[in-house]
Amino acid sequence: MSSALLSSALVALTLAAVPSMGQAREASEPQPPPAESSFDWTLGEWAGVRRDGADGSEAPMTMRVEPILGGIGQTRELEVRHGGGVYRGFSVQVFERDAGGWVEQYANDVHGRFARIEGEVEDGGARSVWRVVAPERRRESRRVDERLGPDRWRRTMSVSDDGGATWRVLWADELERAGGTHPKEGG
């Protein structure tokens, strides 16, 4: 068999095995997750303070939230400036269709590895509860995010050493939209 004929046969077999471009595009079109826009209000630049749960001390912080994947997720990058230096964190948050829920992968410059955090949305996105998924950990962690107003946001991280019977606040972030305007509203 000539190389041209062999090449044509391979192309034909490949095309027969792969769906048409139209079908592939249709199958890969993002399907809107339930409450897809639940976190649209978080998009943009934020500034505020992180309050230590143990002693109440405050450190200035900033956070940038940007949309990804056509709006079905966000990236979040934060910096907290404290007496010991700068703490940096980064996360990717998406609606995981197979699991049917929100998932965040979070990493910081202290540990340099990702932690899986699963979230439940309440009240149309005005409140969400996020739990760190790490079976090997003895202590449980959860973060509660609350929309306090159009341009105000509180995030509270708590831990439990007794299986969730009692919780201790590690920190609380009090954030306001920097510049005062949501990016989708002309900011």
More confident residue, 175 or 164: 175
Report the pLDDT value the prediction gives residue 7, as an integer from 0 to 100. Answer: 40
Q: CA–CA separation, 33 vs 138, rounded Å?
A: 32
CB count in 10 Å sphere of residue 61: 23
Confidence of residue 85 (pLDDT cuts 50, 70, 90): very high
Report the pLDDT value the prediction gives residue 4, as an integer from 0 to 100. Answer: 44
Confidence of residue 182 (pLDDT cuts 50, 70, 90): low
Is the confidence at residue 88, as pLDDT, over 90?
Answer: yes
Q: What is the pLDDT of residues 20-44, one digit of tens each?
A: 444 444 445 544 444 456 788 899 9
Report the pLDDT value the prediction gives residue 40, as an integer from 0 to 100. Answer: 86
Report the pLDDT value the prediction gives residue 48, as an integer from 0 to 100. Answer: 97
Is the confidence at residue 2, as pLDDT, over 70?
Answer: no
Structure token digits, residue 165: 């019977």
- DSSP letter for 165, please: S
Q: Which CATH class is domain 36-185?
A: mainly beta
CATH 2.40.128.20-classified regions of the chain: 36-185
Report the pLDDT value the prediction gives residue 46, as an integer from 0 to 100. Answer: 97
Taking Cα atoms as reference points, which of 65, 33, 39 lies closest to residue 125? 39
Is the confidence at residue 144, as pLDDT, over 60?
Answer: yes
CB burial string 121-155: b at 16+ within 10 A, e below: beeebeebebebeeeeeeebbbbbbebeeebebbb
